[in-house]
Amino acid sequence: MRGARPRDGRPRRQRRVGPGGTAYGKLSPAPRALPMTTPVPSPSPVDARTPAGNLRRRFVVFAAAALALYVGLAVYSDVSTLRATLAAFPWRVMPLVFGLTLVNYLGRLLKWLWYLRLVGAGVSWWDGTRVFGVGMSMVMTPGKAGELLKSYMVRNISGAPMRVTSPIVLAERLTDGVAMLILAGVGLAGFDDPRLRWTAAALMLAVAIVIGAVQFRPLAAWALGVGARLPVVGRHAASLGAFYESSYLLLRPANLAVAVAIGVVSWACEGLAFALVLHGVGVAADVHTTLTAVFIFSLSSVFGALVATPGGLGGTEGSLVALSTRLLGLPAAAATAAALLIRLATLWFGVALGIASLALWPDLLDRGEGEDRGDGAEERPR
């Protein structure tokens, strides 16, 4: 009969088609029949075994490591001098610094929502925004690797396979990196040393080679064919194929250009925020120092990402202090104060928004473990 429940008692699946013809869908609201004797679990969002619980534990470790780092920086720069520098700082500029950071977050959100639409993930802009908000808490994982949980949350909402949406996270990191390298190259215009320009050009060439390799389909087909014949990799050949198709789509020249353009505007705002902070600790406000500030912030962010500590902790702060003292001639206390203030706006502000989102929507992480994934044997990232 039309509209009747299937005999096995399972809910009907609304089918969707993703990249490469992969079908997936969202479960209908009809509940799955359970035996009366089967206890129904009621997971708590604060259960330490859930992803949300894991993030809470990581936050404690992350905060403790940050505290130890900042105490070390304070001792390095002389505590009394650092205190005096912070006391003299014009705090009225901080709302503008936070505002520029918000513009960066908005740009990254728009790119995330656009990528979800490109791969046909089947989530609304509101659900995509909620996932992005919770994903901001993933900065507490090494190298932001925990952002792969965004794909897990999308699957919980729409049923889109993680192998289709996980390339979005990699494309975000890649395009952000390209954008920051471009900004660093623009910042190098304020220097006369041609060796610095050649360094930036070499990095850009390396990124271009990686992107070109993804776009060269015969090479990808050969690599996937070799992988399919390997004992361990062969079991995941279908997943790797879907992963490549999404990566190919996201890194098409037109899509790449749009994503990098969004990244340049977004990260330039945080570079300008750092220029404002530097002006507050005594650096002259002119074109040269602004370009230098953008260069310092962009290069420090890239270095922090390469270090792959949670939030770039240590690598980013150390680079900010070292480059500010070397290139701008700042004393240690002023450079340390500038690093702490910009990290307050660009790191801890984001962490706070992520934790607030996690408190509002913990179900995005903790639900869906018993549903038919329609995705093979994918496991939840931890």
62-111 confidence digits (pLDDT tens): 888 888 888 888 888 888 999 999 999 999 999 999 999 999 999 999 99
pLDDT less than 70: residues of the chain: 1-56, 143-145, 189-194, 196-197, 199-200, 203-204, 207, 210-211, 214-215, 217, 219-247, 367-382
- Which residues lie below 8 Å from residue 176, measured CB to CB, with a gap of 6+? 108, 263, 267
The boundaries of the domain holding residue 237 are 51-366
pLDDT at 171: 85
Residue 10 counted as domain residue? no
Residue 66: closest CA among 355, 357, 344, 352: 344
Q: How far apart are CA 356 and CA 66, in angstroms?
A: 20
Q: Is the dihedral of CA 355, 359, 362, 364 positive or negative?
A: negative
Report pLDDT digits (tens) over 343-355.
Answer: 999 999 999 999 9
The three-state DSSP-derived secondary structure of 94-152 is: HHHHHHHHHHHHHHHHHHHHHHHHHCCCCCCHHHHHHHHHHHHHHHHCECCHHHHHHHH
Structure tokens at 258: 């749009």
Q: How far apart are CA 295 and CA 323, in angstroms?
A: 9
Q: How far apart are CA 205 and CA 181, in angstroms?
A: 11
pLDDT at 324: 92
How many C-beta neighbours within 10 Å does residue 152 have? 21
Residue 45 counted as domain residue? no
Residue 78 counted as domain residue? yes
Amino acid at the residue 352: A
DSSP run (H or E) holding 308: none
Q: Are 275 and 290 in contact (CB under 8 A)?
A: yes
Report pLDDT digits (tens) over 206-216.
Answer: 767 766 776 67
Residue 6 counted as domain residue? no
Q: How far apart are CA 138 and CA 225, in angstroms?
A: 34
As for how many domains the chain has, the answer is 1
- Which residues lie below 8 Å from residue 114, measured CB to CB, with a gap of 6+? 258, 259
The structure tokens 């789509």 sit at 249
Structure tokens at 164: 């289709």
Q: How far apart are CA 241 and CA 246, in angstroms?
A: 9
Q: How far apart are CA 355 and CA 52, in angstroms?
A: 10
Residue 155 counted as domain residue? yes
The structure tokens 């220029």 sit at 275
Amino acid at the residue 198: W
Would you call 228 exposed, middle or buried from its count of C-beta atoms within 10 A (0-12, 13-18, 19+)? middle
Q: How far apart are CA 157 and CA 30, in angstroms?
A: 15
Residue 300 counted as domain residue? yes
DSSP string across 278-290: HHHTT---SHHHH
Residue 206 counted as domain residue? yes
